[in-house]
Copies of this chain bind each other. A is one copy, B any other.
Amino acid sequence: MSFFEHVPAVQYEGSQSDNPLAYRFYDRKKEVLGKTMEEHLRIAVCYWHTFVWPGADIFGQGAFKRPWQQPGDAMERAQQKADEAFAFFTKLGVPYYTFHDTDVAPEGTSLKHYIENFSRMTDYLARKQQDTGMKLLWGTANLFSHPRYAAGAATSPNPEVFAYAATQVCHALDATLKLGGDNYVLWGGREGYDTLLNTDLVRERDQFARFLNMVIEHKHRIGFKGALLIEPKPQEPTKHQYDYDVATVHGFLRQYGLQDEIRVNIEANHATLAGHSFHHEIATAFALGIFGSLDANRGDPQNGWDTDQFPNSVEEMTLALYEILRHGGFTTGGMNFDAKVRRQSVDAEDLFYGHVGAIDVLAVALERAAVLVENDRLEKFRQQRYAGWDTEFGRKILSGGYSLSTLATDALARGVNPQHVSGQQEQLENIVNRAIYAQR
């Protein structure tokens, strides 16, 4: 009997429903700006937090003890886990899921075992996808949990570790193609350093670039049409991770000429750990031309580690979705719930509460963002604010029509004396709140 047997499929019941296991806002076929909510949001459930994590934290043992986490034959448990995962996906009614290689298949005790197990399990997942209609938003490889990766994977001081990692990514990328995944994600969990004292930054960056080049070449060779995505994170478990934030990844890609091949998967909690708002990281990725996909979660503003909580702020998500809508929406990307229930939330229902609440938050935020975008008063204000740059004088500066000294001479001759005008931040914030709270 399924672990989720007693939980009915989650349905849209409208905002006045009292049912904690119903959607109040996520009506997947509802149209918003010409696409359905489902098409806009492209929601994915992740395998690792929801089916692999045992409810342990750094100070406590696993509290969950799911049936598939009990001792037993590893491959049988993996299939049981897949069965339960797809039962959950289906009851939740979302279109996508995501996984690491080692989430779905036992690593075994050698590369050979790993490859065999992973191949069998991805065949199994293919059948589950066919049976259920679920799709893969992205695949990835876990290059950080095993002790061999203690000092990094591509950036390990040991080239054999690099080779092991390359093997995993090769198979994970092949599997992502096999399963029709829309993207492949690289999260460099230990691509960074614990101390500068034992670290050669130049070598490690070069190794990492080589690794990425190999992945890019492989992607093209096997005909994978999805996007390659790097997921920025500033630190944890390492002291400092090379993919610190969107701007840092951008510099790295530019240095090695990879900016047209790799985009970013931005996680809300990683953004805030890096000292940025989620909105900032998304807007920056669009400005730099490397926006890819989102890990929809949240951190705790008072805690300094990756709490990976379910997103629950419509206010924050409205700004995220405003950026996405005004740039045309997701292409290959989507909203992956890289989020886990709290360790105290041990019940099967809690997994539903976490996802249902978060999905409703995204649905409300989507509708509010659509209001903002439809008659984009923010954009109109911006255009008016920068209008001077569209005059002849502004264009001449931007197109190189002045040198520093000719511009200085011109400014002096004209007695330039610009006055500051209001940036109207408070009014713009009110416009956003009006879109959120003054809904008809």
Q: Number of contact residues on A: which range applies? A: 35 or more
Interface residues of A in 51-72 (CB under 8 A from B): 55, 57-63
Q: How many copies does the complex hold?
A: 4
Show 26 residue pairs from A and B whose CB-CB distance is below 8 angstroms, ordered by the A residue.
Answer: A15-B437, A15-B438, A16-B440, A20-B427, A20-B430, A55-B147, A59-B145, A59-B236, A59-B237, A150-B423, A151-B344, A151-B423, A159-B394, A159-B397, A163-B407, A167-B408, A194-B425, A195-B429, A198-B423, A210-B398, A251-B252, A280-B302, A315-B315, A341-B425, A345-B422, A353-B427
CB-CB nearest in chain B for A168: B408
Interface residues of A in 97-111 (CB under 8 A from B): 110-111
Residues in B whose Cβ lies below 8 Å from that of A356? 430
Contact B201 A284 (CB under 8 A): yes
Q: Which of A2-10, A79-87, A411-419 contacts B (4 or more CB under 8 A)?
A: A411-419
Question: For the complex, what is the distance from the CA of A419 to the CA of B302, rounded to whole Å?
Answer: 29
Contact A385 B166 (CB under 8 A): no
User: Interface code A359-399, partner B: CB below 8 Å = 1, 0 otherwise?
Assistant: 01100100000000000001001100110110101100110
Residues in B whose Cβ lies below 8 Å from that of A123? none
Residues in B whose Cβ lies below 8 Å from that of A398? 206-207, 210
For the residues of A in contact with B, the DSSP-based class is helix
Question: For the complex, what is the distance from the CA of A124 to the CA of B75, rounded to whole Å?
Answer: 42
Residues in B whose Cβ lies below 8 Å from that of A432? 197
Pick the contact of A404 from B218, B312, B426 — CB < 8 Å?
B218
Question: For the complex, what is the distance from the CA of A171 to the CA of B412, rounded to whole Å?
Answer: 12
A229 on interface, CB distance cutoff 8 Å: no
Contact A423 B194 (CB under 8 A): yes
Query: Which residue, A58, A251, A434, has most C-beta atoms of chain B within 10 A?
Result: A251
User: Interface code A340-360, partner B: CB below 8 Å = 1, 0 otherwise?
Assistant: 011111110110011011001
